[in-house]
Amino acid sequence: MLRDFELDMPADLQETLACLPGGTPLAGGTNLLVDLRARRESAERLVWLGNIDAFRDIKIEDGQAAIGGGTTVGDILRHPGMERAAPALVDCARVFGGQMVRNQATLAGNVCSGSPAADSVPPLLSLDAELCLASATQVRTIALDDFYTGFKKNRRSPDELVTGISWPVPGPNTANRFYKLARRKGDAITVVGVAVTVTRDGNTCTDARIALGAVAPTVFRAKEAEALIIGETLTEERVDEAAQKAKELSDPIDDLRASADYRRDMVQVLTRRLLNQAWQSLGEKEAGR
């Protein structure tokens, strides 16, 4: 049974921020209400975010994409510019929950839930995203890469709200992909999630990001694997080395969905596959095919 709680319904951002000390933000509720019902969460006062003006705005201009803190997974799917601005995020949105969840679930809620299996986090890390955090007294930005400090722990203070997420739009020489491995296509918790970004100039990989989900206490970037391919031609051997390193950096658990060994193996398989796909697609583009 859902226990009783107080619900604040502030009219705008300033009122919302004033309610936050002592209150817990309620966005789509697809984590929070489920956790309250299951008694994994004990918040007594919730602050509804649904009245904040422009909280679902999406802007793509001057090489930057920025989404408001209330943007839902469904909003990502419906926005015509997202395929170009965030291909991996669109890959993720397509396999995120079911239709009803996609219509409610926000990206900020997904990021703040801090689950290692939060599906939007590998794509956002692969895009080098930043979070905008606002409190009643200050506004600051933090790289998503610096946000998590441990399992379900992050650097947001209780009086702060994620008011936006932004990232540089990948250029024409950059490929960005995500794959979610789960036991079925929809409404399934991720067994392994991998997102990659590869930038290609001729035969050289000039930049790369590899983000891994559900294989450690937090989603993380496999930076030592990235270092093995930056400045290199992505031959089969180089890609194998990077995929092997990503596997070594993973520290998954055994649970009812998969064994730790299987997860590690799948990190290797998926990292290799996505890097190859990204590299080849850029080669074909360059060759005009």
Ligand X SMILES: Cc1cc2nc3c(=O)[nH]c(=O)nc-3n(C[C@H](O)[C@H](O)[C@H](O)COP(=O)(O)OP(=O)(O)OC[C@H]3O[C@@H](n4cnc5c(N)ncnc54)[C@H](O)[C@@H]3O)c2cc1C
Residues that bind ligand X (CB under 6 A): 24-32, 34, 49, 69, 96-97, 101, 104-106, 108-110, 112-113, 118-119, 161-162, 187
The two three-digit tokens of residue 206, written as one number: 């000039």
The CB-of-177 to ligand X minimum distance in angstroms stands at 17
Sign of CA dihedral 5, 9, 15, 17: positive
Which of 118, 110, 133 lies closest to 220, judged by CA?
118
DSSP state of 116: T
Q: In the complex with ligand X, which residue's Cβ is closer, 78 or 285?
A: 78
The CB-of-41 to ligand X minimum distance in angstroms stands at 7
Beta strands in the chain (DSSP E): 6-8, 24-26, 45-48, 58-61, 64-68, 130-134, 139-143, 148-150, 153-154, 161-168, 174-181, 192-201, 204-213, 220-221
Q: In the complex with ligand X, which residue's Cβ is closer, 34 or 54?
A: 34
The two three-digit tokens of residue 181, written as one number: 């491995």
Q: In the complex with ligand X, which residue's Cβ is closer, 99 or 233?
A: 99
The CB-of-229 to ligand X minimum distance in angstroms stands at 27
Residue nearest to ligand X (CB): 109
Taking the chain, what is the end-to-end CA distance rounded to the nearest angstrom? 58
DSSP state of 146: G
The CB-of-3 to ligand X minimum distance in angstroms stands at 16
Q: In the complex with ligand X, which residue's Cβ is closer, 146 or 187?
A: 187
The CB-of-133 to ligand X minimum distance in angstroms stands at 8
The answer to whether 124 and 148 have CB atoms below 8 angstroms apart is: no
Q: In the complex with ligand X, which residue's Cβ is closer, 101 or 230?
A: 101
